[in-house]
Amino acid sequence: MPQITVDYSAPLADAFDRPAFARALHTAVVDIVAARPAACMTRFRRAEETVVGPDEAGHVLVHVEVALLAGRSEEAKARLTDAVVELLRAHVRPAGGAVRHLSAEVRDLDASYRSAEG
Protein backbone atom coordinates (compact mmCIF):
# COMPACT_ATOMS: atom_id res chain seq x y z
CA MET A 1 0.00 0.00 0.00
CA PRO A 2 -0.37 2.33 -1.73
CA GLN A 3 -0.85 0.43 -4.95
CA ILE A 4 -0.16 2.73 -7.91
CA THR A 5 -0.86 1.76 -11.51
CA VAL A 6 0.12 3.92 -14.48
CA ASP A 7 -1.27 3.15 -17.94
CA TYR A 8 0.33 5.06 -20.80
CA SER A 9 0.15 5.14 -24.60
CA ALA A 10 3.01 3.36 -26.37
CA PRO A 11 4.16 6.49 -28.30
CA LEU A 12 5.11 8.00 -24.93
CA ALA A 13 7.75 5.35 -24.20
CA ASP A 14 10.61 7.80 -24.80
CA ALA A 15 8.71 10.92 -23.74
CA PHE A 16 7.69 9.81 -20.23
CA ASP A 17 10.38 9.83 -17.55
CA ARG A 18 8.81 7.01 -15.56
CA PRO A 19 11.48 6.56 -12.85
CA ALA A 20 11.56 10.29 -12.05
CA PHE A 21 7.75 10.42 -12.07
CA ALA A 22 7.53 7.47 -9.66
CA ARG A 23 10.04 9.01 -7.24
CA ALA A 24 8.21 12.35 -7.27
CA LEU A 25 4.85 10.63 -6.92
CA HIS A 26 6.03 8.57 -3.96
CA THR A 27 7.19 11.78 -2.26
CA ALA A 28 3.78 13.38 -2.88
CA VAL A 29 1.95 10.33 -1.54
CA VAL A 30 4.04 10.40 1.64
CA ASP A 31 3.60 14.16 2.10
CA ILE A 32 -0.13 14.37 1.31
CA VAL A 33 -1.65 11.15 2.68
CA ALA A 34 1.05 10.05 5.15
CA ALA A 35 1.96 6.77 3.48
CA ARG A 36 5.21 5.06 4.43
CA PRO A 37 7.88 5.64 1.76
CA ALA A 38 8.83 1.95 1.64
CA ALA A 39 5.18 1.02 1.09
CA CYS A 40 4.79 2.98 -2.17
CA MET A 41 4.64 0.57 -5.12
CA THR A 42 4.22 1.72 -8.71
CA ARG A 43 3.81 -0.37 -11.83
CA PHE A 44 3.72 0.96 -15.38
CA ARG A 45 1.65 -0.63 -18.12
CA ARG A 46 2.34 0.36 -21.70
CA ALA A 47 -0.82 0.35 -23.81
CA GLU A 48 0.02 -0.57 -27.40
CA GLU A 49 -3.29 0.76 -28.65
CA THR A 50 -5.32 3.66 -27.34
CA VAL A 51 -8.19 5.49 -29.01
CA VAL A 52 -9.43 8.92 -27.99
CA GLY A 53 -12.70 10.11 -29.46
CA PRO A 54 -13.57 9.31 -33.06
CA ASP A 55 -9.98 9.82 -34.33
CA GLU A 56 -7.17 7.88 -32.66
CA ALA A 57 -4.41 9.76 -34.49
CA GLY A 58 -2.65 12.56 -32.67
CA HIS A 59 -3.71 11.65 -29.12
CA VAL A 60 -1.84 9.94 -26.28
CA LEU A 61 -2.98 9.22 -22.77
CA VAL A 62 -1.69 8.56 -19.31
CA HIS A 63 -3.99 7.49 -16.49
CA VAL A 64 -2.78 6.97 -12.92
CA GLU A 65 -4.72 5.08 -10.28
CA VAL A 66 -3.62 5.37 -6.67
CA ALA A 67 -5.31 2.88 -4.35
CA LEU A 68 -4.95 3.55 -0.62
CA LEU A 69 -6.07 1.89 2.57
CA ALA A 70 -9.31 3.50 3.72
CA GLY A 71 -9.25 6.39 6.15
CA ARG A 72 -8.00 9.36 4.14
CA SER A 73 -10.32 12.34 3.81
CA GLU A 74 -11.91 13.20 0.48
CA GLU A 75 -10.00 16.49 0.63
CA ALA A 76 -6.65 14.70 1.01
CA LYS A 77 -7.49 12.34 -1.86
CA ALA A 78 -8.46 15.31 -4.06
CA ARG A 79 -5.19 17.10 -3.19
CA LEU A 80 -3.24 13.98 -4.14
CA THR A 81 -5.17 13.63 -7.41
CA ASP A 82 -4.33 17.23 -8.32
CA ALA A 83 -0.67 16.63 -7.45
CA VAL A 84 -0.55 13.52 -9.64
CA VAL A 85 -1.87 15.43 -12.66
CA GLU A 86 0.68 18.21 -12.10
CA LEU A 87 3.47 15.63 -11.85
CA LEU A 88 2.29 14.11 -15.13
CA ARG A 89 2.48 17.54 -16.78
CA ALA A 90 6.09 17.83 -15.60
CA HIS A 91 7.22 14.32 -16.57
CA VAL A 92 5.35 13.56 -19.82
CA ARG A 93 6.65 15.51 -22.79
CA PRO A 94 4.35 15.89 -25.78
CA ALA A 95 5.23 13.11 -28.23
CA GLY A 96 5.47 14.35 -31.80
CA GLY A 97 2.91 17.08 -31.24
CA ALA A 98 0.28 14.67 -29.95
CA VAL A 99 -2.43 15.93 -27.63
CA ARG A 100 -1.77 14.63 -24.11
CA HIS A 101 -4.71 13.37 -22.07
CA LEU A 102 -3.52 13.16 -18.46
CA SER A 103 -5.76 11.86 -15.71
CA ALA A 104 -5.65 10.40 -12.22
CA GLU A 105 -7.90 8.79 -9.65
CA VAL A 106 -7.27 8.21 -5.97
CA ARG A 107 -9.50 5.61 -4.39
CA ASP A 108 -9.77 3.38 -1.35
CA LEU A 109 -8.67 -0.23 -1.52
CA ASP A 110 -11.40 -2.76 -0.86
CA ALA A 111 -11.67 -4.02 2.71
CA SER A 112 -10.52 -7.44 1.46
CA TYR A 113 -7.06 -6.11 0.48
CA ARG A 114 -4.13 -8.02 1.97
CA SER A 115 -0.40 -7.89 1.29
CA ALA A 116 2.70 -9.81 2.31
CA GLU A 117 6.46 -9.41 1.98
CA GLY A 118 9.16 -12.01 1.58
Which tens digits make up the pLDDT trace of 65-80? 999 999 999 999 999 9
Q: Is residue 113 a part of any domain in this protein?
A: no
- State the pLDDT at residue 58: 86
What range does the domain containing 67 cover? 3-108
Q: Are 64 and 103 in contact (CB under 8 A)?
A: yes
- State the pLDDT at residue 105: 98
Q: Is residue 72 a part of any domain in this protein?
A: yes
Total structural domains in the chain? 1
Q: Is residue 103 a part of any domain in this protein?
A: yes
Q: Name the burial class of residue 73, with classes exposed (0-12), middle (13-18) and buried (19+) by CB atoms within 10 angstroms of its CB.
A: exposed
d(CA 50, CA 61): 8
Q: Is residue 117 a part of any domain in this protein?
A: no
- State the pLDDT at residue 52: 85
- State the pLDDT at residue 56: 62
The domain that holds 88 is classified in CATH as 3.30.429.10
What is the C-alpha end-to-end distance of the chain, expressed in Å?
Answer: 15
**pTM for this entry:** 0.93
**Cα 56-12-25 angle, rounded to 5 deg:** 120
Q: pLDDT 10s per residue in the chain (118 long)? A: 799 999 999 999 999 999 999 999 999 999 999 999 999 999 999 999 988 888 767 899 999 999 999 999 999 999 999 999 999 999 999 878 889 999 999 999 999 999 888 8
